[in-house]
């Protein structure tokens, strides 16, 4: 019986870290963590690429809002 559910347990064990990674990527670019965590659980392999696309779009919007000016440099000890 264990051999029947083992592949599903392995997929679940891979799905959770991917969902957490998706949530982290989205959260680090101003999105809601829980929403992206749920998206990551529903779409485990696709969601990482979606979160990366959102992050790229976010950086492009920030660059466009600056009007070509360089990004501000954080002070020592300060993180973006």
Q: What is the tens place of the pLDDT at every residue in 3-53?
A: 888 888 888 888 999 999 999 999 988 889 999 999 999 998 899 999 999
Instruction: Check if the beta carbon of residue 39 is closer than 8 Å to that of residue 18.
Output: no
Rg over CA atoms, the chain: 17
Q: What angle do CA 44, 48, 53 make, to 5 degrees?
A: 140
Which alpha helices (DSSP H) does the chain contain, by range?
Answer: 2-27, 33-42, 46-66
pTM for the model stands at: 0.73
> Distance between CA atoms of 47 and 1, rounded to whole angstroms?
31
For 16, which DSSP code? H
For residue 66, CA distances in Å to 1, 11, 50, 71 come to 59, 43, 25, 8
């Amino acid at each position: 019986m264990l051999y029947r559910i083992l592949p599903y347990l392995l997929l679940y064990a891979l799905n959770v870290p991917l969902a957490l990674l998706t949530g982290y990527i989205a959260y680090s670019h101003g999105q809601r963590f829980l929403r992206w965590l749920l998206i990551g659980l529903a779409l485990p392999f696709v969601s990482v690429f979606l979160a990366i696309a959102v992050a790229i779009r976010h950086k492009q919007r920030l660059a466009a809002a600056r009007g070509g000016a360089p990004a501000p440099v954080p002070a020592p000890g300060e993180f973006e």
